[in-house]
Amino acid sequence: MISTFYKTKSMKRILTYGLVGVLAFLAEYFSFIFLLNITITPHALVLAQSVSFSFGLIISFTGSRLFTFNDINSTYSHSVSRQISSYLTLAFINLVLSNLVIYAIVHYFSVTPFIAKLLVMSMVVVWNFLIFQKIIFKSK
């Protein structure tokens, strides 16, 4: 019985994370395309990546906290302010790494920015779920 409950709860969490992720993805990816097409600077790729990343970040944190990792019968191990500071630290690391990786993929492997963005976003999704579950939104 407990095993079934845990599997159901885990599956619900994964599905909710997926839904929040799709919304964050749509906001981030389409704002990236828009910004990349209207930005006329030598650093358009990094600028579009950074701004669009911020849009996805806001949606991801809000959705994860309110829906994915919000357990009615338990409380978080950390306060909201600690969750936000942990999330912002993770976001900063993600931003730096994703900017470096997207730049490298585009300039050294001649992949189009739109495909490179998809690859980078896929990597971030996987490690974020693990970090959210085990650290940032950990239940008591």
pLDDT of residue 107: 93
Range of the structural domain that residue 61 is part of: 2-136
pLDDT of residue 12: 85
Question: What pTM was computed for the model?
Answer: 0.71
pLDDT of residue 9: 74
**3-class secondary structure per residue, 55-112:** HHHHHHHHHHHHHHCCCCCCCECCCHHHHHHHHHHHHHHHHHHHHHHHHHHHHHHCCC
Provide the number of structural domains found in the chain.
1
pLDDT of residue 71: 59
Distance between alpha carbon 15 and the CA centroid of its chain, in Å? 15
pLDDT along the chain (140 residues), means of 10: 62 88 93 89 86 90 84 62 85 90 94 92 84 79
C-alpha 88/C-alpha 97 separation (Å) is: 14
